[in-house]
Amino acid sequence: MGGAYVGLADEVSAGYWNPAGLHGLSYPEIGYMHVERFAGAVSFDYGGVAMPVTDRSTVGVSVFRSGVNDIVNTLAAWNPDRGQPLPDYESRITRFSAADWALFVSYSRAVSDRLSVGVNFKGIHRSIGDFANAWGYSMDVAARYRAGPYRLGVVVRDVTTMLQSWSVNPSAFEVNCINPIDEQPFDACLNEDGTLIENNATRYQAVFDQRIPQGGTALVLPVARLGSGAVWPVGDGHTLTVGLDVDVAVDGRRAFVPNVGDVSFRPRLGLAFRYAGVVELRGGVQRLQVGTPIGVDLTPSVGAGLDLEQVSVDFSFGDFAGIVADDLGYSYRISAQLRLEQPGLERPAE
């Protein structure tokens, strides 16, 4: 549905979309999702579990990984004197991954029959092979309101502002200075007097004309996601769902439409039709942008789902680059959920 789900989420994935929506669970649920982006270059995986603990309280845990695998490291395969790869360079290339891991611990509580609130406590670890890594901690706050067929939701992500602290491992930037052909140092690794540069940081700068990166901090500013939706019965046992979300961020991304100064508004629109409570067809639009020379661009997506009693499976497909660009490949998403509708596991009565 184009990501227009903040007001509609009421199952285990609400731990990501809107933790206040976890109150919609009547039984424990387990969820998994796998996403391939940029024609498989970037993968995203999610696993979550949530369960009601009292008549008004629900808890959940979600784990996420987003990463790029098999990135080539050519530091040991380069001839700096000739500016070209070494002979038999394939055997000197190593590979690494750049990945982000996140852990969300969620809590939702019903304030009334219509209103629920929620919070996420988040820890994030980011790594770029052995070269650098960062830790960050933050929290989200959320609310969800339901009145008949209508839904309203709001989430303020990273409400505390996340501080990511990066550390760099200088030893991972070790430069190969010995020519395997004659076992002699490369000229680029020598001092003016012909001796080998001993300090690796100095050697790295001499060979690549740049310094080894330094550690530092990065701030992730709060983003508010406003969601609305409606679920209407259509005919005998069918439903029509409409969702409209807007992300509001103070990030200076003026490419998004519309924007006011440094405040950008990112709209998302989704539509779903469920037939007989079993088969669902969905479509959505997100990432509405304007720029030069592409003009106005947007990212559409379509999907389908199958709900069989306690198990549901969903598949969606989209063009990550938008309708204008066609060189970033396609993205697909497959997910499954299991509802443990067993005696004794239902939400406790009031």
Q: So what's the pLDDT on residue 327?
A: 58
In a domain, 4, yes or no: no
Instruction: Per residue of the chain (350 residues), give pLDDT as tens.
Output: 889 999 999 999 999 999 999 999 999 999 999 998 877 788 999 999 999 999 999 999 999 999 999 999 988 888 888 888 888 888 889 999 999 999 999 999 999 999 999 999 999 999 999 999 999 999 999 999 999 999 999 999 999 999 999 999 999 998 888 888 888 899 999 998 889 998 999 989 988 889 999 999 999 999 999 999 999 999 888 999 999 999 998 866 555 556 677 788 888 999 999 999 999 999 998 876 665 555 566 788 899 999 998 999 999 988 655 554 555 667 889 999 999 999 999 999 87
CA distances from 237 to 278, 279, 311, 339 (A): 10, 11, 19, 21
Residue 251 lies in a domain: yes
Instruction: Give CA–CA dist 58/53, Å, rounded.
Output: 6
CA distance 150 to 186: 70
Token duo for residue 3: 């990501």
300: containing domain: 14-339
* Closest C-alpha to 33, from 43, 18, 21: 43
Where residue 146 sits, what CATH number does that domain have? 2.40.160.40
- Cis peptide leading into 52, omega within 30 of 0? no
Q: Give the containing element (helix H, strand E) for 179.
A: none
Report yes or no on whether pTM surpasses 0.85.
yes
The pLDDT, as a whole number, for residue 182 is 84
**Residue 24 is assigned to a structural domain of this protein:** yes
Residue 347 lies in a domain: no
Asked if residue 181 is part of any domain, the answer here is yes
- Closest listed residue to residue 21, CA positions, set 222, 225, 248: 225
Predicted pLDDT at 19:
98
For residue 276, give the amino acid letter.
Answer: A
DSSP for residue 181: T
The pLDDT assigned to 225 comes to: 96
Alpha-carbon span 100 to 64, nearest angstrom: 8
Q: What six digits make up the tokens of 4?
A: 């227009």
Q: Which pLDDT score is estimated for 295?
A: 55
Give yes or no for a contact between 229 and 24, defined as CB atoms under 8 angstroms apart: no
Q: Domain for residue 345, yes or no?
A: no
Any domain includes 7: no
Other CB atoms within 10 A of residue 326 CB: 10
Answer for the pair 338, 326: CB distance below 8 angstroms, yes or no.
no
Q: What is the pLDDT of residue 326?
A: 55
Evaluate whether residue 146 is within a structural domain.
yes
Total domains present in the chain? 1
